[in-house]
Chain A
Amino acid sequence: MFSSISAWILSIAGIICISVIVELIMPEGSVNKYIRSIFSFIVVLVIISPLPSLIGKSFDFSQINLENNYTLQEDYIFQVNVYKTEALQQDISLAIGDAGYENVVVSVSCDNYSTDFHIREIFVELENLVMLDKAEHTNIIDIENEILELIKSRANVEEGRICFER
């Protein structure tokens, strides 16, 4: 496609150069203007010559490559997911501590290798639970419910994914 375009341009340039040279070496006379008009005619022919071949021709655009997919930096995403998990874990433990329950071990398990941050499960160990004075509930089921609410408000997970160990 592009070689034919350059051939077209070169032929236009060539025919004009020839006409100029002929004009230079031609003696003056009445034939002169006829030869000029003949050369103009040839130039027009050269310019329009590629147009008929354009009709009905299908172009090959396969040279233009569209497959350029950028790969994400998986390492970085993994690392940020790890940071997020740790931060979430810390947030939840802090909130539970503020509510008056100490020695509660919270561990968040996330799908760190995926690009979007998914929480798989949240484990809450209540084995060494210590209740402070400000704790609202004393019953273990009430405490679980309160912790469940706390976690749900923070982590946006379904109830079934939060596990308690007593």
Chain B
Amino acid sequence: MKKFVVFIIAFSLILVPSLFVTSAVFSQPCQNTVAVSDEESLEQELDDAISDQLGDIDLSEIEQILQNTENSELFGGMSFLDKVASIINGDFAKDSSSIWEALLNLLLDSILTFLPIIATVVAVSILGGMVQNLKPNFGKKSISSVIHFVIYGVVIVLIFTIIMKMITLTSNTINSLKAQMDAIFPILLTLLTAVGGTVSVSVYQPAMALLSSFIINIFTIVLLPLFLISTVLALVSNLSNNVKLDKLISFIHSLFKWIVGIIFTIFISFAAIQGITAGAVDGLSIKTAKFAIKSYLPLVGTYISDGFYIILASSSLIKNAIGAAGLLLLAGTIISPIIELIIFTLALKLMAGIIEPLGDGKIASFVNTLSKNMTLLVSMVVAVSFMYIVLTGLVMCSANIL
């Protein structure tokens, strides 16, 4: 049962955004009850309206962000405007094989960067373990303690160089997500206003402000230091035999998880409930106007095409396409940090596994605790980007009245 629910949720998460795009793209021309001969002229009219409106909207900020992004493979070298235009035309991902290739390259690259560190740490700690096991009996316990300290120091220096890199990577990723939100959200709100979703705008504007300032601040000011604290405690905890801080570390882990979980749940539920309600209200207010027209006009043929609704439809199409392109940009931004973080977490686990039988038990448990810590960083990036995705998806699906 539980698995089934999870499957349904995952499936709908995957399917829903793509549905928005495709349904928005394909539903527009068909809904207008038009004779077959007029369909082409209607499409032409829609195309004209879309290109007019695309020229009017100011995308300079997001174009600049796109140029500064390193991984723009998902955009295939296109500008943001071109990508939006191609999404409107229906080719969402033209060459999916190249995306997979880029992803695979990214994966191999990050594995290769961590391989030397894994090898060095494993070699050092195994060497240390062998020295401790094979040393002549000096009769003193402190010799082995000193050896332990030396090896521990080397391992710490090696691993912390990468952990520092991971921390800057995470905070950079979150900051660039914030920059993207600040660029995309005003455009989406503008388009939502143009479509006529004034109630939705009044709901989404505070939600977006909350996400891009308050929640991101909590992530960088509160949660990133919590990660650092638990890392330092993990380091200290394995230093001596008689003072253990494992429970304190697990307290900080659960504090972190509770904070992320509460923020996430409250934000998503509020945004979703309010957004869906507001979207329904907006949809109704515009639909009533549309039905009024249908009931008043009795004859087919007197009523050829409705220019007003073509303008609305093109705004709505542009809104959805810009949302989709923004999500694509988001994917391009987060995919490489997430892959790197996950590979590093796995590498730490692998190190712990290799070190444990031969080397020092304390170093193995230190590395294992670090790998648990790294999942906190992954969850930070994933949580922020998921809230962004949900908000953009809600904006895309609200006020799609036509």
- Chain A positions near chain B (C-beta within 8 angstroms): 2, 5-6, 9, 12-13, 16-17, 19-20, 23-25, 28, 36, 39-40, 43, 47, 63-73, 75-77, 79-81, 83-84, 86-88, 90-91, 94-95, 98-99, 115-117, 149, 152-154, 156
Encode contact with A along B110-148: 1 for CB under 8 Å, 0 otherwise.
000000000000000000000000000000011001100
Cβ–Cβ contact B49 & A70, under 8 A: no
Cβ–Cβ contact B145 & A12, under 8 A: no
- Chain B positions near chain A (C-beta within 8 angstroms): 49, 52-53, 56-58, 141-142, 145-146, 149, 182, 185-187, 189-191, 193-194, 196, 198, 201, 205, 208-210, 212-214, 217-218, 221, 225, 229, 232-233, 235-237, 239-243, 245, 248, 289, 292-293, 296-297, 302-304, 306-308, 310-312, 315
Cβ–Cβ contact B292 & A87, under 8 A: no
Looking at A64, A76, A152, which has the most chain B CB atoms within 10 Å of its CB?
A76
Q: Which residue of B lies closest to A33 (CB)?
A: B242
Cβ–Cβ contact A116 & B243, under 8 A: no
Beyond the given pairs A12-B236, A66-B209, 14 more chain A to chain B contacts, judged by CB atoms under 8 angstroms and listed by A's residue number, are A12-B245, A16-B245, A17-B239, A28-B141, A64-B217, A65-B217, A66-B210, A69-B209, A71-B186, A76-B58, A79-B53, A84-B311, A153-B297, A156-B292
Contacts of B232 in A (CB 8 A): 9, 13
Per the bound structure, the CA–CA distance linking A41 and B164 in Å amounts to 32
Cβ–Cβ contact A80 & B53, under 8 A: yes
Contact A98/B243 with A71-B186, A80-B311 known, Cβ cut-off 8 Å? no
Contacts of B208 in A (CB 8 A): 70
Cβ–Cβ contact B242 & A68, under 8 A: no
Cβ–Cβ contact A76 & B56, under 8 A: yes
Cβ–Cβ contact A153 & B292, under 8 A: yes
25 residue pairs from A and B, CB less than 8 Å apart: A5-B229, A13-B236, A16-B245, A19-B243, A24-B142, A63-B217, A64-B217, A64-B221, A68-B212, A68-B213, A72-B190, A73-B187, A75-B58, A79-B53, A81-B194, A83-B52, A84-B311, A84-B312, A86-B307, A87-B308, A88-B307, A95-B302, A95-B303, A116-B193, A117-B196
B282 nearest CB across to chain A (Å): 11
B229 nearest CB across to chain A (Å): 5
Contacts of A73 in B (CB 8 A): 57-58, 186-187, 190
CB contact between A80 and one of B194, B213, B214 (< 8 Å): that residue: B194
Contact A66/B214 with A24-B146, A73-B57 known, Cβ cut-off 8 Å? yes
Cβ–Cβ contact B240 & A77, under 8 A: no
Cβ–Cβ contact A84 & B308, under 8 A: yes
Cβ–Cβ contact B248 & A47, under 8 A: yes
Cβ–Cβ contact A20 & B239, under 8 A: yes
Per the bound structure, the CA–CA distance linking A5 and B252 in Å amounts to 13
Q: Which residue of A lies closest to B315 (CB)?
A: A80
Per the bound structure, the CA–CA distance linking A70 and B205 in Å amounts to 7
A14 nearest CB across to chain B (Å): 9
Per the bound structure, the CA–CA distance linking A93 and B349 in Å amounts to 73
CB contact between B240 and one of A23, A65, A69 (< 8 Å): that residue: A23
Cβ–Cβ contact A39 & B58, under 8 A: no
CB contact between A91 and one of B52, B212, B308 (< 8 Å): that residue: B308
Per the bound structure, the CA–CA distance linking A43 and B198 in Å amounts to 58
B96 nearest CB across to chain A (Å): 32
Cβ–Cβ contact A76 & B194, under 8 A: yes
B389 nearest CB across to chain A (Å): 18
Contacts of A99 in B (CB 8 A): 302
B56 nearest CB across to chain A (Å): 4
B19 nearest CB across to chain A (Å): 26
Cβ–Cβ contact B213 & A66, under 8 A: yes
Per the bound structure, the CA–CA distance linking A12 and B232 in Å amounts to 10
Per the bound structure, the CA–CA distance linking A67 and B213 in Å amounts to 8
Contact A5/B56 with A24-B145, A153-B297 known, Cβ cut-off 8 Å? no
Contact A17/B289 with A5-B229, A94-B304, A115-B198 known, Cβ cut-off 8 Å? no
Cβ–Cβ contact A12 & B233, under 8 A: yes
A5 nearest CB across to chain B (Å): 7
Q: Which residue of B lies closest to A152 (CB)?
A: B296
CB contact between A77 and one of B193, B212, B289 (< 8 Å): that residue: B193
Looking at A6, A19, A28, A154, which has the most chain B CB atoms within 10 Å of its CB?
A154
Cβ–Cβ contact B213 & A39, under 8 A: no
Per the bound structure, the CA–CA distance linking A67 and B312 in Å amounts to 31
Cβ–Cβ contact A43 & B243, under 8 A: yes
